[in-house]
């Protein structure tokens, strides 16, 4: 079993839809959670990061963490064609685990006009 599971998609939605992207993880030592966006043939771009359970909002993006269920989500409101990309969740242990990130496989999102 992978430490981080993420549905690879592809996920196709109409413009303006609310998108929900999810990851589950098995290692309860993970304490720091990130979402990256990666356009084709480019490096990943950090979107959001959070330490704690609950919601964190930034513009059209909301990151949600449920540590009791080992489940994290990224919501995109009013999705735009420019949001079409691969979204990777990543997580790490903060103490005693070095500074290595563990990534999900990424979900490919396509927002259609």
Partner 1 sequence: GAVVSQHPSRVICKSGTSVKIECRSLDFQATTMFWYRQFPKQSLMLMATSNEGSKATYEQGVEKDKFLINHASLTLSTLTVTSAHPEDSSFYICSAEKAGGPSYEQYFGPGTRLTVT
Q: In terms of CB distance, is 73 or 97 closer to partner 1?
A: 97
User: Which x/- pattern, by CB under 8 A, does the window 68-107 give for partner 1?
Assistant: --------------------x---x-x---xxxx-xxxx-
Minimum distance between the CB of residue 78 and partner 1, rounded to whole angstroms?
25
CB 90 within 8 A of CB 34: yes
**Residue 29 Cβ, how far from partner 1 at the closest point, in Å?**
14
- Whole-angstrom distance, CA of residue 25 vs CA of residue 69: 9
* CA dist., res. 102 & res. 75, Å (int): 21
Between residue 24 and residue 63, which ones bind partner 1 under the rule CB under 8 A? 32, 34, 36, 41-46, 49
Q: Name the residue among 43, 85, 36 with its Cα closest to residue 63.
A: 36
Residue with tokens 């839809």: 17
Counting residues that bind partner 1 (by CB under 8 A) gives 23
Query: Is the distance from CB of 93 to CB of 78 less than 8 angstroms?
Result: no
Residues that bind partner 1 (CB under 8 A): 8, 32, 34, 36, 41-46, 49, 88, 92, 94, 98-101, 103-106, 108
């Amino acid at each position: 079993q992978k430490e981080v599971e993420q549905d690879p998609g592809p996920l196709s939605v109409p413009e303006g839809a609310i998108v929900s992207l999810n990851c589950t993880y098995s290692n309860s030592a993970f304490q720091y959670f990130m979402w990256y966006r990666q356009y084709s043939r480019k490096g990943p771009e950090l979107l959001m990061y959070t330490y704690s359970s609950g919601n964190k909002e930034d513009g059209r993006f909301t990151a949600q963490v449920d540590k009791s269920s080992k489940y994290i989500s990224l919501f995109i409101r009013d999705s735009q064609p420019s949001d079409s990309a691969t979204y990777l969740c990543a997580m790490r242990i903060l103490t005693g685990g070095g500074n290595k990130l563990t990534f999900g496989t990424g979900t490919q999102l396509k927002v259609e006009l």
